[in-house]
Amino acid sequence: MNIDDIKREFPIFDDKIQNNDLVYLDSANSSQKPRIVVDRIYDFYTKEFSNVGRSVHYLAVAATNLYEQTRVSVQKYINAKDKDEIVFTKGATEAINLVANTFGQKYLSEGDEVLLTELEHHSNYVPWHFLRKAKNIKIEFAEINDNGEVTLEAIEKKITNKTKIISVSHLSNVTGAILPIKEIVQLAHSKNIPVLIDGCQGAPHLKLDMQDIDCDFYAISGHKMYGPTGIGILYAKKKWLEDLPPYQGGGGMINEVKKEGITYGELPNKYEAGTMATAQVIAFNESIKFMEKIGIQNIEKHEKELLDYGLEKLRKNNSVNIIGNPKEKGGVISFTIEGVHPHDIATILDEDGVAIRAGHHCCQILHDKLNLPATARASFGVYNTKDDIDKLDEAINKCKKIFNL
């Protein structure tokens, strides 16, 4: 695959940003969008727009078909057994909230335990914290080791006969650690515990096979997969979607509504109340096609090369400390520079068009554990090149110069 060709598919790189060529190293936060995705939104709104699943006129039927085509594309992309196992949400955050809320309602009561890890994003902690408040459940955290990984043993150590659900990241957005999710699912299932995987960082970078992983729930963020904002996916095994109560009430999710009672719609409508992010769902199909065209194996290989190159380069740069050293690692490099706060690093890098993120990356529990208030993070997407990493390295040197290091 030719990265220059791929990069040309992203209009954001056409023009200078503040007089610089954009070196975009913030894809773990959100990825840039290829032209086909942007165009699809425009075309849908200008030529094909209608609401879905309700009216019978031509546009409504066509829009409904397009909307459902994305469901099938996602099903195939992640190798889910059934298209009804794909629920559209407004993002991965809503997908996790949906599970925490409905599973919590039905299966959690006082004293029950939910097992997370120390490296979870706030969106895989706060929804469970709501249940801690409402139902007096307990939240346990599997510990990270010195490499910034969570091992199968660390998970096993925290499982008790009170553990009712395990919810873990596929890939850490800070250390880049890839968790042994298949083994975690096997272990959990041997104890009859369901597993939710927060796949925000996994789905854009790793091959997904729901039937192989065998997890009960998998949350996906569309905007990190070269797709629009406002679209997420909850994959859930059909038995759970049939068993759990609905999440939000409204139009589209009902079967029959009477004064004396209501029955709910069939899957997948049961979990898609109200008018959904129709244009985004339809455009997300183009993101899937875009990734399929390149091939996830090629994306993985390219990002691994960038990671190895980046790690080698930054390790050679004095006063740069890289956070975590996981054996299985995705395209994320979090780092600190002795004597320069990450926010100052980010501002100085930005001056040269190098866009990174600084802060706690919505992982305060992890940063507390690492005893760091904040880190700087460079994260990769399919459009990044080794040249981007060279520019990062140069900008870090400029930073050191300003701070007289």
Partner 1 sequence: MDLKDLYQEIILDHGKNPRNLGKFDNYNKDAKGNNPLCGDNVHVYLRLNENKKVEDIAFEGHGCAISMASASIMTDMVRGKEEKEVKEIVTDFLGMIKEKDSLETNILKEDEKTKLMSLSGVKQYPMRVKCATLSWHTLTSALDNSDQIVKTED
To the nearest whole angstrom, how small is the minimum distance from the Cβ of residue 128 to partner 1? 19
- Out of 300, 341, 393, 394, the only residue in the binding site for partner 1 (CB under 8 A) is 341
Nearest of 41, 38, 44, 46 to residue 12 by alpha carbon = 38
- Out of 8, 364, 369, 390, the only residue in the binding site for partner 1 (CB under 8 A) is 364
Which residues are CB-neighbours of 38 under 8 A, at least 6 positions away? 11, 283
Structure tokens at 135: 């139902």
Interaction between residue 347 and partner 1 (CB under 8 A): yes
Interaction between residue 400 and partner 1 (CB under 8 A): no
**Candidate list 200, 362, 363, 399, residue with the active-site label:** 362
Q: Which stretch binds partner 1 (CB under 8 A): 2-10, 242-250, 301-309, 341-349?
A: 341-349
Interaction between residue 369 and partner 1 (CB under 8 A): no
Within 10 A of 265 (CB to CB), how many other CB atoms are there?
A: 17
Q: Is 48 helix (H, G, I), strand (E, B) or coil?
A: helix
Interaction between residue 355 and partner 1 (CB under 8 A): no
Interaction between residue 374 and partner 1 (CB under 8 A): yes
Interaction between residue 353 and partner 1 (CB under 8 A): no
Interaction between residue 339 and partner 1 (CB under 8 A): yes
Q: Is 252 buried (19+), middle (13-18) or exposed (0-12) by CB count in 10 A? A: middle
Size of the site for partner 1 (CB under 8 A): 20
- Out of 200, 337, 340, 365, the only residue in the binding site for partner 1 (CB under 8 A) is 340
Interaction between residue 371 and partner 1 (CB under 8 A): no
Interaction between residue 229 and partner 1 (CB under 8 A): no
- Out of 367, 377, 391, 400, the only residue in the binding site for partner 1 (CB under 8 A) is 367
Helices (H), 18-91: 35-43, 58-77
Q: Residue 248 gets which letter from DSSP?
A: S
Residue closer to partner 1 by CB (options 46, 404) is 404
Contact 389, 313 (CB under 8 A): yes
Contact 80, 123 (CB under 8 A): no
Nearest of 7, 3, 10, 34 to residue 283 by alpha carbon = 34
Residues of span 13-52 touching partner 1 by CB under 8 A:
18
| Alpha carbon distance 264, 255 (integer Å) | 5
Q: Which stretch binds partner 1 (CB under 8 A): 47-55, 58-66, 209-217, 342-350?
A: 342-350
- Out of 267, 342, 356, 383, the only residue in the binding site for partner 1 (CB under 8 A) is 342
Interaction between residue 338 and partner 1 (CB under 8 A): no
Q: Mark whether 215 is an active-site residue.
A: no
Q: Which stretch binds partner 1 (CB under 8 A): 80-88, 179-187, 226-234, 367-375?
A: 367-375
To the nearest whole angstrom, how small is the minimum distance from the Cβ of residue 29 to partner 1? 13
Which residues are CB-neighbours of 401 under 8 A, at least 6 positions away? none
Q: Please, what is the Cα angle at 119 between 300 and 163, to 5 degrees?
A: 110
| Alpha carbon distance 18, 11 (integer Å) | 16
Q: Which stretch binds partner 1 (CB under 8 A): 3-11, 172-180, 263-271, 356-364?
A: 356-364
| Alpha carbon distance 346, 355 (integer Å) | 7
Residues that bind partner 1 (CB under 8 A): 18, 339-344, 347-348, 351, 358-360, 364, 367, 373-374, 402-404
Catalytic residues: 362
